[in-house]
Amino acid sequence: MTASDPDPVDDIVATIARSAAEIRQGLVGRRGKADEENPSGETQAEADIWADELLADRLSSIDGVGQYASEERSEIIDAGDDQVYIAVDPLDGSSNLKSNNTMGTVFGIYDEPLPAPGSALVASGWILYGPITTMACARDGSVTKYELTGGGRTVVEEDVTLPDEPLVYGFGGRVPHWHDDFREYVREIESDPGHKLRYGGAMIGDVNQVLTYGGIFAYPALEDSPRGKLRLQFEGNPIAYLIESAGGRSSDGSQSILEVEPTDLHDRVPLHVGNTGFIDQLEAALA
């Protein structure tokens, strides 16, 4: 990108924010399973496919966008330009559709073609479909929180940082499949009466609790799944970039998620994000 090129990042973030109300509304009547699997082998919901198509159409037509990639499609859409490259999880936690619990939309905007390392991110964020719709967005090392109403966006907090005193923890994966050193670490976190369990089955809901109250969210490496469950391009990198921009840390167990070199668009990564002290302690436990 040269200084004279228009910056597409604002357009992309505004388009995602505007689309959120429509995505939320469009969930009604699309809560069933589609007869298809995503590239990671998970059964898709009708809403996953619909939200992906809506975002693909809108985001790939923005000037400056080189690629659109999503957790819900195996191939990258070539959008023709070469300034930024977008990776999206259109509906994070869509298994919560059935029970009508929290879900989100996650996005990462990279300045390198995909798959790219998290160090190539120029912005990232998430929409949270909770009792109200909110957005958290990281850019230039700073995080802003918004409330979204219809097509509008209101700033509720700028320069968001994780609270110093961590309160919440949430860990994914079946406990019998956790590695012993991770299980030991969890016991230490749980044994402090100042810490509370929060786990809702949608990463965005759980990570947003960490951003709000301080703490840790992890979907670790498992005995039957050494790379965990979450996808590096669509979930790991965007979340890590935002949490690090808010003064926290991310780790795959030994290094920042943003340092992990991708080998494939749909790579998974063991994900741990939260307050610096919690992640330091985690890396020491797993060393």
- What count of Cα atoms within 13 Å lies in the side-chain half-sphere of residue 188? 14
In the structure encoding, which two tokens stand for residue 24, read together? 């939320």
Nearest by Cα to 211 from 274, 272, 159, 257: 274
Closest CB 271 distance from ligand F6P, rounded Å = 9
Q: Is 71 annotated as a binding residue?
A: yes
What are the helix (H) ranges across the chain?
8-26, 46-60, 180-190, 203-213, 237-245, 276-286
Closest CB 281 distance from ligand F6P, rounded Å = 21
| Window 23-62: contact mask with ligand F6P (x via CB under 6 A) | ----------------------------------------
In the structure encoding, which two tokens stand for residue 160, read together? 């968001």
Closest CB 213 distance from ligand F6P, rounded Å = 17
Contact pick of 229, 249, 268, 272 for ligand F6P (by CB under 6 A): 229
Closest CB 10 distance from ligand F6P, rounded Å = 27
CB 187 within 8 A of CB 175: no
Interface with ligand F6P: number of residues (CB under 6 A): 10
The edge-to-edge listing of strands for the beta sheet with 65-70 is 77-78, 65-70, 84-92, 103-110, 121-129, 133-139, 142-149, 152-157
Interaction of residue 202 with ligand F6P, rule CB under 6 A: yes
CA distance 254 to 235: 18
> Which stretch, 1-9, 182-190, 197-205, 242-250, contacts ligand F6P (CB under 6 A)?
197-205
Interaction of residue 215 with ligand F6P, rule CB under 6 A: no
Closest CB 150 distance from ligand F6P, rounded Å = 26
Query: Binding to ligand F6P (CB under 6 A): which residues in 161-180?
Result: 172
Interaction of residue 93 with ligand F6P, rule CB under 6 A: yes
Interaction of residue 146 with ligand F6P, rule CB under 6 A: no
Q: What φ, ψ does residue 238 adopt, rounded to 5°?
A: -60, -40
Tell me how crowded residue 182 is: count the other CB atoms within 10 A of its CB.
Answer: 23
> Which stretch, 62-70, 142-150, 198-206, 246-254, contacts ligand F6P (CB under 6 A)?
198-206
Question: How would you classify the pairing of strands 215-219 and 168-171?
Answer: parallel
Residue nearest to ligand F6P (CB): 203
Interaction of residue 92 with ligand F6P, rule CB under 6 A: yes
Q: What separation in angstroms does the CA of 42 have from each of 16, 48, 147?
A: 24, 11, 31
Binding positions: 71, 89, 91-95, 199, 229, 235
Which residue ranges make up the site for ligand F6P (CB under 6 A)?
A: 92-93, 95, 172, 201-203, 219, 229-230
